[in-house]
Amino acid sequence: MLLLLCSVLGVALYFLLQQYRTKMRPVVEKAEKIPGPKTLPLFGNALEFGTSTKGNEAMCSIIGPKY
């Protein structure tokens, strides 16, 4: 019984995710056209910047004119 319940929930979750991806596809395609450095999920561009303020200023002066 538990296996059947997990299977049904898995299939329902799969179809919900497919529906979400189909619905969000136009938004993602438009967002990919925005210029800027590539980001990582959850981190964004945070890994490009160091922990020091001077390093962050240098990085901004490097990538600023490019984008």
- pLDDT of the chain, 67 residues: tens digit per residue: 999 999 999 999 999 999 999 999 999 889 888 887 777 666 676 666 666 677 777 777 777 777 6
Q: Where are the domains of the chain?
A: 1-34, 35-67
Residue 54 to residues 30, 33, 37, 61, Cα–Cα distance (Å): 34, 30, 20, 11
What is the model's pTM? 0.47
